[in-house]
Amino acid sequence: MSTTMCQVLGFLVSSLGVAGCMVATAMDMWSTQDLYDNPVTAVFQYQGLWRSCVRQSSGFTECRPYFTILGLPAMFQAVRALMIVGIVLGILGLLVCIFALKCIRIGTMEDSAKANMTLTSGIMFIIAGLCAITGVSVFANMLVTNFWMSTANMYQGMQNVQNRYTFGSALFVGWVAGGLALVGGIMMCLACRGLIPEESRYKAVSYNASGRNISYKTGPYKGYEPEMKTRKGPGYEEAPRSEDGRRSYPSKYDYV
């Protein structure tokens, strides 16, 4: 797969993922009323991140937004924050990715700059996908916990039993959208490697010899002289020579 094809596919998949995250966040069916024990009911309730709705058997639907965030659970607010952060990062990643596409030329932008922008957008998509998947998973965990608590209360014979809620369609949309954003981000990171110029990817150093045939000759050290040179002047007496031609110098015992 060529670099351009991988980059374009990553952009399209990430775009679908970000759009799915926005749709899932705006949907009202994050949790729906469980009708297992009561399939025939005149009122059907479902809730989202921003409002709760009631649908009657006549087809009339009434939705009421959450007017305050202080009465909501902390995990519920955390899910909101994760989805919003994922959407913001995804939109920023799309803007960066548009200018980083190899098929689009903007001025004299080099391939190395496009590679850095592609890597940045890929990391943004990966983080956005992880935020969406984490937010949906946390909400699903809340539903499972409340569902089993309501079931336990029902079997204990309590009179005031709250309605049980199960997974809504928004959870599945969020999981799929987060996965698409994650896959698109990985493809963008893979495309970044193909955009790096070869001369900057492999920096080889060549060593050339100064000559083919080089001979080194050793010689005496410059400071070494085979014969000691002395200055001759008035009052200088040359040491007497022995039979073999060597000079004999007086020792310290001769001055005693």
SS3 36: coil
- Per the CB < 8 A criterion, the answer to whether 76 and 143 are in contact is no
Using the CB atoms, write b or e for 137-153: b if 16+ within 10 Å. Answer: bebbebbeeebeebeee
**Which residues are CB-contacts of 82 (< 8 A; sequence separation ≥ 6)?**
131, 132, 134, 135, 138
pTM value surpassing 0.75:
no
Query: Can you tell me the distance from the alpha carbon of 152 to that of 192, in angstroms, rounded to the nearest whole number?
Result: 53
Q: Where are the domains of the chain?
A: 1-29+73-194
pLDDT, tens only, 96-131: 988 888 777 776 767 778 888 889 999 999 999 999
Query: Can you tell me the distance from the alpha carbon of 29 to that of 38, in angstroms, rounded to the nearest whole number?
Result: 19
Q: Which residue has the tokens 């989202």?
A: 48
By CB neighbour count within 10 A (0-12 exposed, 13-18 middle, 19+ buried), where does 210 fall? Answer: exposed
The domain made up of 1-29+73-194 has a fold known as Butyryl-CoA Dehydrogenase, subunit A; domain 3 (1.20.140)
Structure tokens at 53: 């709705």
Low-confidence ranges of the chain (pLDDT < 50): 159, 200-207, 209-211, 213-216, 221, 224-225, 228-229, 236, 255-256
SS3 94: helix
pLDDT for position 256: 46
pLDDT, tens only, 64-103: 888 877 778 888 899 999 999 999 999 999 999 888 887 7
Between the alpha carbon of residue 137 and those of residues 50, 58, 128, 130, the distances in Å are 18, 34, 14, 10
Q: What are the E-state strand segments in the chain?
A: 31-33, 43-47, 51-56, 61-65, 165-167
Structure tokens at 181: 């954003």
Query: Can you tell me the distance from the alpha carbon of 168 to that of 44, in angstroms, rounded to the nearest whole number?
Result: 13
pLDDT, mean over the chain: 77
pLDDT for position 113: 81
Query: Can you tell me the distance from the alpha carbon of 195 to that of 112, in angstroms, rounded to the nearest whole number?
Result: 7
Between the alpha carbon of residue 241 and those of residues 161, 165, 228, 248, the distances in Å are 128, 120, 15, 6
pLDDT for position 103: 73
Sign of torsion over alpha carbons 73, 74, 79, 81: positive
Closest by CA position to 189, among listed 198, 181, 199: 181
pLDDT for position 204: 45
